[in-house]
Structure 1
Amino acid sequence: MQNQITPGSLLAAMRADPPLVQCITNFVAMNIAANVMLAAGASPAMVHSEEEAGEFATISSALTINIGTLSPAWLAGMKVAARAATKADKPWVLDPVAHYATAYRRKAVIELLELRPTIIRGNASEIIALAGGVSRGQGVDSRDPVELAADSAWHLASQYQAVVAVTGETDFVTDGNKAWRIEGGSVLMPKVTALGCALTCLIGAFAATRPQSPLEATVAALAVFAVAGERAGNEAAGPGSFSWHFLDALAALDGTALDAHARIIPA
């Protein structure tokens, strides 16, 4: 039986020494991602240009790359940063947003995968397609259930020697050897723009705190989101109020409450 993960100690450790995380993310996500990181206790930096992204990756504790609003200039910055992070032995996270939508995006994600991300996070449709399967995704929206992406996640984890997280109603995470499911969250979460993108940044923060165990770091970040999301959903009247309730819930969450309420199940 797999050892139980207790994410509370990781949350406390991250807040005790807030990591600087370089978040190369999309235009839609920048504001909410930065606010989520600050509420959780990390330090975000949205540095993406080719001219400085590589240098900044060497001084950051982790890097996250999200291809949501892709362009040649941004892709160049992403690749420079990923190479620099790998050379400096810093963890980095790839979020292959809607990579199946166009030929340009498919080529871009192949180039980024060749740079060997530490962690890959996507919705079920993105992970299925990334593993070569046929998904029902439309744009950034997943139309496949998480459980259908589990085999694809196992395959990708083994192929790229990476942790793979499939996020949705119940999250699934594997490193190719062990796997976990994380329950919680709220039905309102998909109705708030870019929360998934913000989660990718938070995974980077936890990976910076526990670089020797990216699987544990990923599970802890997902548990934080799940518990805070569930608490916010219980208070919110709709997507608008959920957004600020969620930030408040993140800021108020402590390690003891996280361990008490996280539902992390061996898969």
Structure 2
Amino acid sequence: MKTSKTQHHPFPLSQKIANTLQSLREQRPLVVSVTNYVVMNNTANALLAIGASPIMAHSRQEMAELMAFSGALVVNIGTLDSIWIERMRFAIEQANTCGKPVILDPVGCGASLLRTKTSREFCQLAEKLIIRANASEVMALANVQSQVKGVDALDSSESAVIAAKKLIEMYHVNHVVISGKDDFIVNKDSVIKLSNGSPLMPKVTGMGCTHTALTGAFSAIDFDNAGLCATGVLGVAGELAEKQSQGPGSMQMNVLDQLHLLNSRDIEYTLSSEECS
């Protein structure tokens, strides 16, 4: 892939992210999360730390009411079964009715037929969609040959860019966020690569799910740039947190602190990006 020279201080891009973060903190959007048991606490704390308001809702009895005044819906299929599928399907339908963004995290797509089929169904159903996934999940979702080991990606994030563009053509996808050593934000007209974060982040359960949750929060503020803002903010927070961490335990705590403390100067002087073509 052809890329431009890395910009370690891309002020216009960092300014966009910082300004959107400030708006998020002022507006405190409610993010409805139908997410897995493993990460509920992690993602709720991350949303609070960034300045959003999380609600972990699963009952269809209240979903229509909640979606009417929420900012976005996050659907994470990490602990999937027939009951969860029905609840998630109904939640997406209510988000469609209310014109709210749906952020899909197709955890383990490609690892089983159930996960792959369900992920594709939800892509077809959602009318205002952002996908956040690792490379192997993106490729499996687009029916491109991928390498999957459980919920872990064995493909590089860059290798999934073409698959992400295919998903945008196939479904009502505004943009796709591919997580990995480098992160790619892919929309119809552009590809942006962000190269922040830390090697400790994959050693903490739920960092990808946190990425998805933050994308949900930003989608309530700036739908078109939600993935860019969430990726930049989490990557910078992770990079700064690593400097204070001795291992995965302290890393998890320090990422939350950095999400809470992050300011425009941190973003401006830490963000590393490339525009790809």
Fold conserved between structures, TM > 0.5:
yes
Q: Deviation digits for residues 73-103 of structure 1, max 9, x if unmatched?
A: 2111111111111121111100000022222
Residue 189 of structure 1 deviates from its aligned partner by 0.3
- TM-score, normalisation: structure 2: 0.91
1:184 aligns with 2:193: no
Counterpart of 2:105 in structure 1: which amino acid? D
- 1:161 and 1:259 map into 2 onto residues whose CA distance is 32
Which of 125, 133, 139 is residue 122 of structure 1 equivalent to? 133
Q: Deviation digits for residues 141-187 of structure 1, max 9, x if unmatched?
A: 11111111111111112222411110011100111211111111000
- 1:24 and 1:184 map into 2 onto residues whose CA distance is 28
Matched-pair identity in %: 39
**Higher mean C-alpha deviation, range 152-161 or range 189-198:** 152-161
Q: Deviation digits for residues 55-84 of structure 1, max 9, x if unmatched?
A: 322221100000000122211111111111
Give 1:34's aligned residue: 44
Residue 4 of structure 1 deviates from its aligned partner by 4.7
- 2:259 and 2:150 map into 1 onto residues whose CA distance is 28
Give 1:231's aligned residue: 240
1:240 aligns with 2:252: no
Stretches of structure 2 that go unaligned for 5 or more consecutive residues are: 5-10
Counterpart of 1:141 in structure 2: which amino acid? D
Which of 151, 162, 171 is residue 183 of structure 2 equivalent to? 171
Which of 61, 65, 88 is residue 78 of structure 1 equivalent to? 88
Q: Tell me the secondary structure at the aligned position of residue 148 of structure 2.
A: coil
Following superposition, which runs of at least 4 residues in structure 1 exceed 4 angstroms of deviation? none
CA contact (8 A) 1:50 1:73 kept: no
Counterpart of 1:254 in structure 2: which amino acid? N
Q: Tell me the secondary structure at the aligned position of residue 125 of structure 2.
A: coil
CA contact (8 A) 1:53 1:78 kept: no
Q: Deviation digits for residues 199-223 of structure 1, max 9, x if unmatched?
A: 1011000000113xx2x22101100
Q: RMSD in angstroms over aligned alpha carbons?
A: 1.5
- 1:12 and 1:144 map into 2 onto residues whose CA distance is 35
Q: Deviation digits for residues 106-161 of structure 1, max 9, x if unmatched?
A: 22112211113520010010001111111111111111111111111111122224
- 2:180 and 2:238 map into 1 onto residues whose CA distance is 12
Give 1:209's aligned residue: 221
CA contact (8 A) 2:219 2:226 kept: yes
Counterpart of 1:54 in structure 2: which amino acid? A
Q: What is the 5 A alignment of 1:246-265?
A: 246-265=255-274
Which of 58, 68, 76 is residue 68 of structure 2 equivalent to? 58
Give 1:67's aligned residue: 77
Q: Deviation digits for residues 230-263 of structure 1, max 9, x if unmatched?
A: 0011111111111111111111101332233222
Counterpart of 2:230 in structure 1: which amino acid? A
CA contact (8 A) 1:224 1:250 kept: yes
CA contact (8 A) 2:124 2:172 kept: no
Give 1:87's aligned residue: 97
- 1:264 and 1:53 map into 2 onto residues whose CA distance is 38
Q: Tell me the secondary structure at the aligned position of residue 148 of structure 1.
A: helix
- 2:77 and 2:259 map into 1 onto residues whose CA distance is 25
Which of 128, 134, 156 is residue 145 of structure 2 equivalent to? 134
- 1:255 and 1:22 map into 2 onto residues whose CA distance is 27
- TM-score, normalisation: structure 1: 0.94
CA contact (8 A) 2:184 2:191 kept: yes
Give 1:218's aligned residue: 227
- 1:75 and 1:136 map into 2 onto residues whose CA distance is 25
